[in-house]
A and B are shown apart, each in its own frame.
Chain A
């Protein structure tokens, strides 16, 4: 009996290992992302809008950097500044680590947000942040490409109108692939954790 004990023990261990392997998928995979991964990350949709000086700013200008995009509007006092303040925390942390990340905010309220307003708004959260606006047609085109929903609804006499809009943050990796999205209220720490992985990746393509 004693002679059987060792092989039995070995067999049990092997079976347990196999069960763990089957029951815990992803055990051997690289660490997962906190953000929502796109099922098939592909080249990021095009995005080109003019800055206040009239210079065309394009997503491709930041090739080799991780890019974080947010669609919002400056009339919004709650969700938009909350998200931008969180992204400023992310940027600060990345700066301290010497990483390269570009945050870009695009207005969904082209009637009220001019390129000047957007540039000043974005830069108030972090000097490197870029805020972009455009004509209603340009914004509609960009939003459609990115799958961003936005729709003005009537407010009061004081607010005029308010804009419902997709409140997620989109991430484009160093190689220019639209890769992850983050829901509103994602802790900055989660985005920072993902960036620590993504900033180590190589940047080809573009």
Chain B
């Protein structure tokens, strides 16, 4: 019986190990008016046994991209600033969520406003893992 369960678990383990880093649910908000900036959000799963980090994101849609974090303090004051060290830590075996009001990919200098239904190509650059290309879906709310 035990062997049977192990056999069942094996393919699942193989799938999980299939990709070192997995990106899920990448999206960005429709631009309000003619704003020059935007933000992208996603979930990043580090399936490896070792820590990694998201060090940069590239896209021809933005003049510059910075990795930012918004934080609201106990007085309700919001502060948005580049993440410490300029990179987002991806601890081994954990999933890091980039979401409104927290970590996000800040797109500075949009060539044109982000429109509903667009898919924006992003290249994610990691400290160790290979680069990953994803498309962020432009929507009016989180998926």
Instruction: Point out residues on A near B: beta carbons under 8 Å.
Output: 74-79, 81-82, 84-85, 117, 120-121, 123-125, 149, 153, 155-156, 158-159, 162, 164-168, 181, 183-185
Q: Say if the beta carbon of B42 comes within 8 Å of chain A.
A: no
B37 CB, nearest partner CB in chain A, Å? 4
Supposing A78-B106, A184-B101 touch, asked if A162 and B80 sit within 8 A by C-beta, the answer is yes
Residue in chain B with minimal CB distance to A112: B36
Q: Is the CB of A149 within 8 A of B35?
A: no
Q: Is the CB of B66 within 8 A of A79?
A: no
Interface of B is mostly: strand
A79 touches which one: B34, B70, B81, B82 (CB < 8 A)?
B70
A162 touches which one: B64, B72, B81 (CB < 8 A)?
B81
Residue in chain A with minimal CB distance to B68: A78
A117 and B140 CA atoms in complex are apart in Å by 20
Supposing A121-B32, A164-B77, A183-B76 touch, asked if A79 and B140 sit within 8 A by C-beta, the answer is no
- The A/B interface has a contact count, at CB < 8 Å, of 94
A123 and B100 CA atoms in complex are apart in Å by 21
B76 touches which one: A85, A120, A158, A184 (CB < 8 A)?
A184
Set of chain A residues within 8 Å of B82, measured between Cβ atoms: 155-156
Residue in chain A with minimal CB distance to B100: A82
Q: Name 15 A/B residue pairs within 8 A (Cβ), A-sorted.
A: A75-B36, A75-B37, A77-B38, A78-B104, A79-B72, A85-B29, A117-B33, A121-B32, A121-B33, A156-B82, A164-B79, A167-B72, A167-B78, A181-B76, A183-B76
Set of chain A residues within 8 Å of B112, measured between Cβ atoms: none
A116 and B140 CA atoms in complex are apart in Å by 23
Q: Is the CB of A79 within 8 A of B76?
A: no
A185 CB, nearest partner CB in chain B, Å? 6
Q: Is the CB of A120 within 8 A of B33?
A: yes
Set of chain A residues within 8 Å of B76, measured between Cβ atoms: 166-168, 181, 183-184
Q: Which of B67-125 contact A (CB under 8 A)?
A: 68, 70, 72, 75-82, 100-101, 104, 106-109
Set of chain B residues within 8 Å of A167, measured between Cβ atoms: 72, 76-78
Set of chain A residues within 8 Å of B29, measured between Cβ atoms: 77, 81-82, 85
Binary CB contact string for chain B from 21 to 57 against chain A (1 if under 8 A, 0 otherwise): 0000000010111111111000000000000000000
Q: Is the CB of A158 within 8 A of B108?
A: yes
Q: Say if the beta carbon of B19 comes within 8 Å of chain A.
A: no
B36, B63, B80, B104, most chain A CB atoms within 10 A: B80
Supposing A158-B64, A159-B108, A164-B78 touch, asked if A78 and B32 sit within 8 A by C-beta, the answer is no
B86 CB, nearest partner CB in chain A, Å? 10
A85 touches which one: B75, B77, B101, B141 (CB < 8 A)?
B141
A69 and B54 CA atoms in complex are apart in Å by 37
A158 and B86 CA atoms in complex are apart in Å by 14
Residue in chain A with minimal CB distance to B78: A167
Supposing A79-B100, A184-B101 touch, asked if A158 and B66 sit within 8 A by C-beta, the answer is yes
B37 touches which one: A77, A125, A153, A166 (CB < 8 A)?
A77
Set of chain B residues within 8 Å of A159, measured between Cβ atoms: 66, 106, 108
Residue in chain B with minimal CB distance to A157: B64
Set of chain A residues within 8 Å of B33, measured between Cβ atoms: 74, 117, 120-121, 123-124
Enumerate the 6 nearest inter-chain pairs by beta-carbon distance, A residue then B residue, closest first: A167-B78, A158-B64, A82-B100, A77-B39, A120-B33, A124-B32
